């Protein structure tokens, strides 16, 4: 069974631009969550989607948004990029009724 796939692996953007990251969960997993990882800060929860509905949301500004499609694939969008948005963005999926997270390899976003 294929693991969680995130694309692209690396992104370089400039301040003010917007970016869209993609995540394909493990087949059969309907929950997809997103985390921001920065050195020294650990992983910070962005949001979680289940069956196309946002179920939970972390404390990030409205510039961070996401969505989930009917095939459970999810996208995350960041608008008006700031230097502080530079981070590794990790997506994780889990099976229904399970809290075990399976992470993707992440998208490394650099904002210049």
Partner 1 sequence: GENVEQHPSTLSVQEGDSAVIKCTYSDSASNYFPWYKQELGKRPQLIIDIRSNVGEKKDQRIAVTLNKTAKHFSLHITETQPEDSAVYFCAASHPTGNQFYFGTGTSLTVIP
Residues that bind partner 1 (CB under 8 A): 4, 31, 33, 35, 40-45, 48, 50, 55-56, 58-59, 90, 94, 99-106
Beta carbons within 8 Å of 3's beta carbon, 6+ residues apart: 26, 102, 104
- Give 56 or 71: the residue with its C-beta nearer to partner 1: 56
Kindly state the smallest distance separating residue 17's Cβ from partner 1, in Å: 26
- Give 75 or 103: the residue with its C-beta nearer to partner 1: 103
For residue 16, give the nearest of 83, 108, 77 by alpha carbon.
83
Kindly state the smallest distance separating residue 19's Cβ from partner 1, in Å: 20
Distance CA 56, CA 83 (A): 26
């Amino acid at each position: 069974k294929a693991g969680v796939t995130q694309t692209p692996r690396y992104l370089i953007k400039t301040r003010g631009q917007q970016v869209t990251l993609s995540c394909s969960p493990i087949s059969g997993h309907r929950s997809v969550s997103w985390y921001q990882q920065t050195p020294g800060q650990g992983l910070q929860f962005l949001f979680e989607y289940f069956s196309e509905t946002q179920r939970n949301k972390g404390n990030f500004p409205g510039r961070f948004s996401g969505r989930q499609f009917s095939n459970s694939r999810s996208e995350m969008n960041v608008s008006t990029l700031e230097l502080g948005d530079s981070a590794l963005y990790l997506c994780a999926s889990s099976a229904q009724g399970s809290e075990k997270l399976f992470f993707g390899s992440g998208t490394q976003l650099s904002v210049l």
